[in-house]
Structure 1
Amino acid sequence: MAKTLEPAIAYCEDGFAIRPHVWNFWNTPEIAGRMARYQGMTQDPSVAKIYTKDGKTLLGIGDILRNSDMGRTYRRIAEHGVEDFYSGAIARQIADDMAANGGLITMEDLAACRTVETEPLWIDYRGYRIATNQPPGGGLVIAVMLKILEQFDLAAMGHNSPDYIATVSEAMKIATVDKDTRMGDPAFFDIPFDELLSEDYAKACAERIRRGEKMDVPRLNSGADPKETTHICVADTDGNCVTMTHSLGSSGGVITEGLGFMYNNCMMVFDPRPGHAGSLAPGKARFTALSPTIVFRDDKPFLLVGAPGGTTITMGNLQAILNVIDFDMDAQQAVFAPRFTTTSNTIELTNRIPRSAERELQRRGYPTKRHPYSYMMPIVHAIRLVDGRLDGGADPSGDGMAMGT
């Protein structure tokens, strides 16, 4: 049966609008929204032959996954160079499959792909210099939150006290609304950097929080964040360091026969409404919460942080930074400490945050959601560098680890 690629519609996880989502492989109207992972692994025969035993049963833990098609693709790139992927035989194979099945990628699209390099986004926080990534990455979200929170004595509130959680949550909500409405691909959208990073804006937001005002952050869907992202922090005693987040975004459930790799479907993150920060447009980069960050003290690297975790990434990275700077935690303590995330009107809490704090938040009018586990997304990783010594922390909710060599 030939694949029919008709766009389905899904409610968004990280914005206000309905957004175009994954392809509906078999033209079945009942698939409308984030398709089940099982469907994405079984409905395209080119996918099922790799990831299932019999076309229907997914490989289990301990089973051997064999993907000879991807191996051959790697060899072709090794022998003919990366140009084979963007303008050569592999590109032609991709474009022909797209044309045959109603896809949108052409040879011209592949040939036009370029790596975009940008300078870091720099801000100050309590005497530290912080370098993070530019939009459409999530670094500006972290910057907005830090500028607001610098107006408060967080340490005096007490870590994860009701005052602390409410204050940080409001900063999270303000930055989330700013992200949804005023951040996007700077090549397509005029981001008001000067205003968002100004002292006047930070002070005005802080005053609203002090008055007890609550930012409204409507959400249409509360689906789980995808888990196709990885992060690594690396540092040495000479101060050389790297913090890098890599994401597959979301697996699309489609493989061109013979190539072995699955296409991404992160077009779902765009806003289908024209005229908005995240509106869909040809050649436009979608917003991502990826936000690898380095904190400098006395012009030397002091803290590396980063995480996978979809829309929650910026919130986890923020708390790791606050834990180290405001509460003097080492890297392991900073990523182990109980966290919360607030990207809607509901404050989501890990099960290790005291119920007394949750009850007080509820008394103040905050809806809460207590997760039944000790750790939740994102999966934060960090390295701290102090006086030539390094300490690291890997979030125990994932399969990472801190290791010295």
Structure 2
Amino acid sequence: MEREDELPFVSHRSVLVCGSACVASSQYLASNIGIEILKKGGNAADAAVAVAAALNVTEPTSTGIGGDAFCLYYDNNTKKVHALNGSGRSPGKLTLELLNSQGYSKKHMFPSNHGHTVTVPGAAAAWCDSVDKFGSGKLSMAEILEPAIKLAEHGFPVQKITAHAWKQGSWLLQEPDNTYGQDLLIEGRAPGHGEIMKNPKLANTFKELAENGKKGFYEGRIAQAICDAVTKFGGVMSLEDLKAHVTTFEEPIRTNYKGHTVWEIPPNGQGITALMALNILEEFNLKDMGHNSGQYLHILIEALRLSFADTFKHCADPSKVHVPIDKMLCKKYASERRQHISSDRAIPEVCSGESLSGSDTVYFSVTDCHGNACSFINSNYMGFGTGIVPENCGFTLQNRGYNFTLEPDHPNVIAPNKRPYHTIIPAMVTSAETGELLASYGVMGGFMQPQGHVQVLLNMIEFGMDPQQALDMPRFCIGHGHTVKTGSLEHVALEYGIPDTVVKQLKDMGHDVTPHIKGFGRSLFGRGQIIAQGNWPFKPENNCYWAGSDPRADGAAFGY
């Protein structure tokens, strides 16, 4: 019998090629629901919201309507990329002075499941606003949410990796004070692999959103239940905080990497980290170094270390503090940072702020028959988030506020009505020459995300891999993936499959490495999805979509 800690990669998965439309997600039922919406006449945005809701049902260990969401939307008619920031803000009464009076400080952070970590859940508004702003107009929210509602009411078989994560995080739901945590358990325990799980209370939450729109979530019964739950666990969220929540539509940030325009969400998200690293890497002859060679990995690791160091210093809510985005993305600045990379390790200046933590998320991508694409990401933050379940709601509340710092002079210091530094980031690639979509992609997983964006993108651009091959390749992770703090940029985790000779080379260069991580430990390296236009980068004129789904998850890419 296979041991619980084993997750062997012993099968081959071919890249999916399809002619009209495609969905790639971490759960096959959710991917299928996305296809169902597309066949009913919905577009990429409509299908993305349906997938997000389905993943809330099937992977509450990672995502949900009690968390946040971001998306990039490519409009094929205008060749324009739009950005939606669906992250929530801290309560209006949550001040540093209040926290200090309660004994919390830079050296003593509140627990990750405390009510203070709950920021206003932005996902519900993000779903509604994605459909309103980018949707086809042919399907109502009720029609878009109907498949997820049925899934929650009738039940679904829990997949292997999700069952493992559910068991790992179930202690939060089993806490004696978490009265309604049992709603996400079966007889007080996590559902096992293949067991049927139902969540009728979540189905009712979706029905209220479908019938009443955003008001159905941010006002009334659900809003009151959220406030009551947060208060019970020591937080100060009010009905006014929920009612005041708004999604923002941003100008996405981008850089040109060798003729490819790479798009990310601007801060408060960390997508800028990936763009800065690509700017640094652009002048290196990476292809001649060889894929995942010692020298190649060294250069990537150092570029990302330098980029993280700058991001940790500056990234915060730009509506509250100045974030020097133009400087950080300047090619001249990248050239200056490039000088810090040598044959040995670079030692970037890292901020001395609080630790930043992150964990599970869902990323998925959708393309439609009109050439539109939606790169979408949704998260509770750390697994089940706080694990706090509001009464009769069927979802957990995120703990995104744990990513604030309590250092008074830091840009990301906690303050009222402020968005925290955010780890979840969707990405896209377009042709710098024509504006045509080349790829809609992302890699979830805390601070692994910009690292994953860089690694899988270079797998395609520099080494000509198709989307599935790009996702299959072993990865590295700086820090500990789910916890990045002062000094942790020293550590590098290496996935099983990177040869011992390369491990030795990195050690000889001065890297602190942990090699051969496998089994369920592979979650450290994130789980990605990619949909490319044509057999990009070889034949972008091919009208087919080429898609890959990460073997580190339970998902699949579906198309027609």
- Indicate whether 1:340 and 2:476 are aligned: yes
1: distance between equivalents of 2:446 and 2:492? 17
TM-score, normalization by structure 2: 0.63
SS of 2:556 mapped into structure 1: coil
- Indicate whether 1:279 and 2:279 are aligned: no
TM-score, normalization by structure 1: 0.85
Q: 1:31 is matched with which residue? A: none
- Indicate whether 1:266 and 2:400 are aligned: yes
Q: 1:33 is matched with which residue? A: none
Contact 1:225 1:309 in 2 (8 A): yes
Contact 1:21 1:265 in 2 (8 A): no
- Indicate whether 1:291 and 2:425 are aligned: yes
The runs of 5 or more residues in structure 1 that have no matched partner are 1-5, 26-35
Contact 1:20 1:270 in 2 (8 A): no
SS of 2:180 mapped into structure 1: helix
Matches within 5 A, 1:17-28: 19-23=109-113
1: distance between equivalents of 2:251 and 2:104? 34
**CA 1:352 to 1:18, structure 2 compared with 1: closer, same or farther past 3 Å?**
farther
- Indicate whether 1:362 and 2:362 are aligned: no
**CA 1:182 to 1:218, structure 2 compared with 1: closer, same or farther past 3 Å?**
closer
**CA 1:60 to 1:10, structure 2 compared with 1: closer, same or farther past 3 Å?**
farther
- What residue identity is the alignment partner of 1:326? E
Matches within 5 A, 1:307-386: 307-343=443-479, 344-373=489-518, 375-376=522-523, 377-385=525-533, 386=540
Query: Residues 342-372 of structure 1, C-alpha deviation per residue, up to 9 Å, x if partnerless?
Result: 2421221111011101101111111111143
2: distance between equivalents of 1:45 and 1:213? 46
- What residue identity is the alignment partner of 1:153? N
- Indicate whether 1:126 and 2:271 are aligned: no
- Indicate whether 1:196 and 2:286 are aligned: no
SS of 2:386 mapped into structure 1: strand
Query: Residues 228-281 of structure 1, C-alpha deviation per residue, up to 9 Å, x if partnerless?
Result: x11111224653222111112232122232333222222111111112132111
**CA 1:231 to 1:97, structure 2 compared with 1: closer, same or farther past 3 Å?**
closer
Query: Residues 115-136 of structure 1, C-alpha deviation per residue, up to 9 Å, x if partnerless?
Result: 1110111211111112211111
- Indicate whether 1:255 and 2:399 are aligned: no
Q: 2:279 is matched with which residue? A: 147
**CA 1:259 to 1:121, structure 2 compared with 1: closer, same or farther past 3 Å?**
same
Query: Residues 161-220 of structure 1, C-alpha deviation per residue, up to 9 Å, x if partnerless?
Result: 111111100011111111211111111221112221112211111111036451245999
Out of 348, 372, 381, which is 1:240 matched to?
Answer: 372
Contact 2:270 2:423 in 1 (8 A): yes
| Larger helix share, 1 or 2 | 2
- What residue identity is the alignment partner of 2:512? P
2: distance between equivalents of 1:256 and 1:91? 9
**CA 1:165 to 1:261, structure 2 compared with 1: closer, same or farther past 3 Å?**
same
Tell me which of the two structures has the higher relative contact order, counting C-alpha pairs closer than 8 angstroms and 6 or more residues apart: 2
**CA 1:50 to 1:165, structure 2 compared with 1: closer, same or farther past 3 Å?**
same
- What residue identity is the alignment partner of 1:367? D
**CA 1:194 to 1:165, structure 2 compared with 1: closer, same or farther past 3 Å?**
same
Q: 1:30 is matched with which residue? A: none
Query: Residues 81-134 of structure 1, C-alpha deviation per residue, up to 9 Å, x if partnerless?
Result: 431322334323433555566431111111111011101112111111122111
- Indicate whether 1:401 and 2:534 are aligned: no
1: distance between equivalents of 2:193 and 2:269? 34
Query: Residues 132-162 of structure 1, C-alpha deviation per residue, up to 9 Å, x if partnerless?
Result: 1111122211110010001211111111111
Q: 2:342 is matched with which residue? A: 210
Count of aligned pairs between the two proteins:
384
- Indicate whether 1:175 and 2:307 are aligned: yes
Q: 1:29 is matched with which residue? A: none
- Indicate whether 1:226 and 2:371 are aligned: no
Q: 2:67 is matched with which residue? A: none
Q: 2:318 is matched with which residue? A: 186
The runs of 5 or more residues in structure 2 that have no matched partner are 1-97, 116-167, 480-488, 534-539
Out of 201, 208, 227, which is 1:69 matched to?
Answer: 201
Contact 1:19 1:269 in 2 (8 A): no
- What residue identity is the alignment partner of 1:20? F
- What residue identity is the alignment partner of 1:336? D
1: distance between equivalents of 2:289 and 2:352? 29
- What residue identity is the alignment partner of 1:273? E
SS of 1:335 mapped into structure 2: helix
Query: Residues 354-392 of structure 1, C-alpha deviation per residue, up to 9 Å, x if partnerless?
Result: 110110111111111114317552111112212223211
1: distance between equivalents of 2:269 and 2:395? 25
SS of 2:503 mapped into structure 1: helix
- What residue identity is the alignment partner of 1:342? I
When structure 1 is superposed on structure 2, of 378-387 and 43-52 the one drifting more is: 43-52
**CA 1:242 to 1:79, structure 2 compared with 1: closer, same or farther past 3 Å?**
closer
Question: RMSD of aligned C-alpha atoms?
Answer: 3.0
When structure 1 is superposed on structure 2, of 383-392 and 173-182 the one drifting more is: 383-392
- What residue identity is the alignment partner of 1:322? L
Give the CA deviation at 1:221. Answer: 10
Give the CA deviation at 1:224. Answer: 8.7
- What residue identity is the alignment partner of 1:288? H
Query: Residues 17-67 of structure 1, C-alpha deviation per residue, up to 9 Å, x if partnerless?
Result: 764333459xxxxxxxxxx73331111352343234444x43333444343
Query: Residues 305-355 of structure 1, C-alpha deviation per residue, up to 9 Å, x if partnerless?
Result: 112211101111111111111112111111112211224212211110111
- Indicate whether 1:112 and 2:244 are aligned: yes
When structure 1 is superposed on structure 2, of 106-115 and 338-347 the one drifting more is: 338-347
- What residue identity is the alignment partner of 1:295? V
Give percent identity, aligned residues only: 28
When structure 1 is superposed on structure 2, of 253-262 and 57-66 the one drifting more is: 57-66
